[in-house]
Structure 1
Amino acid sequence: MSKKAQRGQGSRSKLRDYFIENVGFVLDSDTLREIAGTSEWGRRVRELRNEEGMNIVTHNDRSTLKPGEYMLLDLKPVPSFERGISKETRALVLDRNGFTCQMCGAAAGEPNPYDANRKTRLHIGHIIDKSMGGTDEPGNLRAICSVCNEGASNLTLDRPKAIKLLAQIRRAPASDQLEVLEWIIKKFPAHAKKLIGE
């Protein structure tokens, strides 16, 4: 087992123990991050829920919980799901999604738009969660960054169409339009040279 996998197992164990000690209590994301000792604490919580069958709920499951709040309802296990996404499927989905988060638009390696102290790390997320009957087929998978993934369980956002994006850009101040242009040129340098005619 690699050191990274061992660290993942260690943080998952810490979170499992903490949830069990606090059954029925609302736990916040800052505390869970601290307990896990890793920025990938959200993934570990999902593993406890989906792979080990722990009955952990979030604001997507209970209206009484706020975003970033979690609760282990009881110790009775719920149906769990093994991870079944192959490396080939992961590569296909990342390539199809342009190595870009399908919620916030951040590209892999860029500073995350919601947390500039973190570089964007992409994961593969389910559009319809496995706990709600979703599958590991490529059509039900999308690239999603770790920041969005921490609060996106069972949440699906429609991607905006070009006409809506253009309308928003047209309404934006010139300084914001220039920032968008610079970002597009940086993201698609070969296309930009063709359009400019270099």
Structure 2
Amino acid sequence: MKEIKLKQKGSKAKLREFFLENVGVILNKDILSKIAGKTEWGRRVRELRNEEGMNIVTHNDRSELKPGEYLLVDLKPLPAFDRDISKETRAFVLDRNGFTCQMCGAAAGEPHPYDANRKTRLHLGHVIDKSMGGTDDASNLRAICSVCNEGASNLTLNRPQAIKLLAQIRRAPTTDQLDVLRWIIAKFPKQAQKLIGEA
């Protein structure tokens, strides 16, 4: 009788139930795809994480996890990703912020500066939190990595001033200064060519 009920459930419901039965247990993609019974199991896991706020982490969040491993840390719900933010707004904000975390500067997909075994995963964060009256407008959104996002609720930080950034670059070794130069040229190729032409 129970097996018949299980078959009638959707893949997301099956995954939710399985995660809840295995809190704190590392689960791999083979088990999850078998439970879901569909090729879209990864999408359903993302929906549980982003839309329902389940605290499911992967190797992008924790260096001790291998690719394809998932862990429901606890039953405490995380703030769910607000589906009112359109894909266009999301893409605009990430592009405007150079696909880098606006708190620590980590770039999407690169090893995280505080944990080289962990790739940087970006989310959208509110500058002024919704609980404090902030909106989903692009002007109130910023790219923020999962590491900074964990400790950034209701926190508003000012961007560093150019003079402070330049002071840090001047103090850095030549190899690091050249890395900064290469990054700036790659980010602003047209402006770099114009400046070189003017020199």
* TM-score, normalised via structure 2 length: 0.57
1:132-174 CA distance string (max 9 Å, x none):
2211111110011222222222222211122221122223343
For the 8 Å contact 1:125–1:141, the answer to whether it is kept is yes
For the 8 Å contact 1:50–1:131, the answer to whether it is kept is no
Q: Counterpart in 2 of 1:7? A: 45
Which of 1 and 2 has greater Rg? 2
1:72-129 CA distance string (max 9 Å, x none):
xxxxxxxxx9541111111111121122211111222222212212222221111111
Give the alignment's Cα RMSD to 1 decimal.
Answer: 3.8
Q: Distance in 2 between matches of 1:148 and 1:103?
A: 7
Q: Counterpart in 2 of 1:90? A: 90
- How much identity, in percent, do the aligned residues show? 66
Q: Distance in 2 between matches of 1:39 and 1:155?
A: 27
Q: Unaligned regions of 5+ residues in structure 2, if any?
A: 1-11, 13-39
Q: Which moved further from structure 2: 173-182 or 125-134?
A: 173-182
Q: Distance in 2 between matches of 1:178 and 1:144?
A: 26
1:42-68 CA distance string (max 9 Å, x none):
9x96xx3545xxxxxxxxxxxxxxxxx
Q: Distance in 1 between matches of 2:148 and 2:53?
A: 23
Q: What letter corresponds to residue 118 of structure 1 in structure 2?
A: R
* TM-score, normalised via structure 1 length: 0.58
Q: Unaligned regions of 5+ residues in structure 1, if any?
A: 17-28, 52-80
Q: Counterpart in 2 of 1:181? A: 181
How many corresponding residue pairs? 150
| Aligned 1:16-31 pairs, distance under 5 A | none
Q: Distance in 1 between matches of 2:71 and 2:188?
A: 30
Q: Distance in 2 between matches of 1:143 and 1:39?
A: 24
Q: Distance in 1 between matches of 2:142 and 2:73?
A: 20
Q: Counterpart in 2 of 1:135? A: 135
SS of structure 2 residue aligned to 1:180: helix
Structure 1 pair 155/38, CA: closer, same or farther in 2 (3 Å)? farther
* Aligned structure 1 segments of 4 or more residues deviating by more than 6 angstroms: 39-42
Structure 2 residue 155 is the aligned partner of structure 1 residue 155: yes
Q: Distance in 2 between matches of 1:118 and 1:86?
A: 28
